């Protein structure tokens, strides 16, 4: 098992799942309004490599989708990675019963990889090619009326602490690298001097 300090440090990354871009709660059946119906499912399709505008979609999965999943544990989220670099990168949002007003404005083609909606679900497909992940998140937020979860004071503090530690590690890394380099230089110098001495004694 990795040592305890490493594990403790690793566990701090859990904070990144709770707060950040995409940390928000979708309207559920209990909190749905006529304007924003409940979100029942999400599906994302994008191609394996980043060229052709698929980068943002992948980043959305990595950054936002984990946070969304944490705050909406009951909403199934699926991701399909295709081999078709020219194909679409699209996000399908499934609403209960009807689309929200903002979602109905989307006219992207249906995603063939997305699971079929049930009888009570309506889907809205967003074309996310050539968008970065924050843009995708803004679109999703506007469509669904998701309520963002702000970081608490304690979490803010912890985030700051992690940030400070990261800055300190940059400095420390430079300092240690300099020390190691100095030691190497010293050794090299000694070896060279030894070589010279050997040459002199031979000659």
195 interacts with other proteins by CB under 8 A: no
The token pair at 115 is: 């699971």
65 interacts with other proteins by CB under 8 A: yes
Tell me if 45 sits within 8 A of 54, measured CB to CB. no
66 interacts with other proteins by CB under 8 A: yes
- The residue (of 20 and 87) whose beta carbon lies closer to other proteins is 20
- The residue (of 10 and 48) whose beta carbon lies closer to other proteins is 10
- The residue (of 7 and 98) whose beta carbon lies closer to other proteins is 7
CA dihedral 161, 164, 169, 172 (to 10 degrees): -120
Single out the residue of 25, 52, 78, 159 in contact with other proteins (rule: CB under 8 A): 78
Task: Count other C-beta atoms under 10 Å from residue 72's C-beta.
Answer: 18
Single out the residue of 51, 74, 86, 154 in contact with other proteins (rule: CB under 8 A): 74
Pure H helices in the chain: 4-12, 15-18, 55-59, 66-71, 101-104, 133-144, 153-202
54 interacts with other proteins by CB under 8 A: no
The token pair at 31 is: 């909190």
CA–CA separation, 99 vs 117, rounded Å?
13
126 interacts with other proteins by CB under 8 A: no
30 interacts with other proteins by CB under 8 A: no
Closest to 18 (Cα-Cα) out of 159, 145, 143, 139: 159
Which residues 86-105 are close enough to bind other proteins by CB under 8 A?
A: none
Single out the residue of 20, 52, 70, 122 in contact with other proteins (rule: CB under 8 A): 70
Q: Which residue has the tokens 């000659």?
A: 203
The binding site for other proteins (CB under 8 A) comprises 1, 3-4, 7-8, 10-11, 13-14, 17, 44, 61, 65-70, 73-74, 76-79
């Amino acid at each position: 098992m990795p040592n305890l300090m490493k594990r403790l440090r690793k566990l701090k990354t859990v904070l990144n799942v709770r707060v950040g871009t995409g940390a928000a709660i979708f309207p559920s059946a209990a909190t749905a309004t006529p304007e924003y119906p409940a979100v029942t499912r999400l599906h994302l399709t994008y191609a394996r490599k980043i060229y052709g505008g698929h980068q943002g979609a992948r980043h959305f999965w990595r950054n936002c989708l984990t946070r969304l999943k944490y705050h909406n544990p009951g909403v199934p989220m699926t991701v399909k990675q295709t081999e078709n670099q020219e194909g679409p990168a699209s996000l399908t949002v499934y609403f209960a019963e009807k689309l929200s007003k903002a979602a109905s404005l989307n006219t992207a083609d249906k995603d063939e990889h997305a699971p079929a909606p049930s009888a009570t679900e309506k889907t809205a497909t967003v074309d996310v090619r050539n968008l970065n992940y924050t843009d995708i998140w803004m679109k999703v937020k506007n469509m669904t009326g998701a309520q963002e979860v702000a970081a608490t004071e304690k979490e803010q503090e912890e985030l700051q602490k992690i940030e400070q530690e990261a800055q300190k590690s940059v400095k420390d890394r430079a300092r240690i690298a300099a020390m190691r380099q100095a030691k190497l230089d010293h050794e090299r110098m000694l070896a060279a001097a030894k070589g010279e001495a050997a040459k002199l004694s031979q000659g």
